[in-house]
Amino acid sequence: MKALVSTWQFWAVLSAAFAALTAIFAKVGVANVGSDFATFIRTLVILAALALMLTVTGSWQGLGTVSARSGTFLVLSGLATGASWLCYFRALKLGEASRVAPIDKLSVVLVAVFAALFLGERLSATGWLGVALIGAGAMLIATGL
């Protein structure tokens, strides 16, 4: 079990499971709340949970330990995350979770494309086929065809 917990695959599957629960809980949560305010509440909960985790594990670091480059990209990542969450909650407010979530997961396709373009990562032909199938599947679910 210890070996399993130290793999990226284990944590990726947990991430997917929690992301699925996020969609379901958020859809119910935004029913009678503005989507932007709902995102704010979610963010406060995440901030508190992370502060607790850092405290419990003794993982706090001084800001001086973060390089300017890392800091810049972490700020950009935070801004992108915030924008994503605002858009996601707005979409959930307006649409069905079972149709919104697959479109949101088109991020998998975009990550593959952006990683190839900007990070020089390479996927095999089979990998690109998988990316195309994810995109096609998301569109089929979202459009109801």
Structural domain total, the chain: 2
d(CA 88, CA 122): 29
pLDDT at residue 145 in the model: 64
Q: Clarify whether residues 109 and 75 are in a common domain.
A: no
* 55 to 11, 15, 44, 46: CA distances (angstroms): 21, 22, 17, 14
DSSP 30: T
Report d(CA 97, CA 88) in Å as an integer.
Answer: 10
Statement to judge: residues 112 and 131 lie in one domain: yes
The pLDDT of residue 42 is 95
- Specify whether 50 is located in the same domain as 17: yes
Quote the domain boundaries for residue 84.
Answer: 2-94
Residue 100 domain-assigned (yes or no): no
Q: Which residues of the chain have pLDDT under 70?
A: 145
Max Cα distance, the chain (Å): 52
How far, in Å, CA of 23 to CA of 37, rounded? 16
pLDDT at 71: 96
pLDDT digits (tens, 9 = 90+) for 18-60: 999 999 999 999 999 999 999 999 999 999 999 999 999 999 9
Lookup: tokens for 17 = 């499971």
Question: Does one domain contain both 86 and 112?
Answer: no
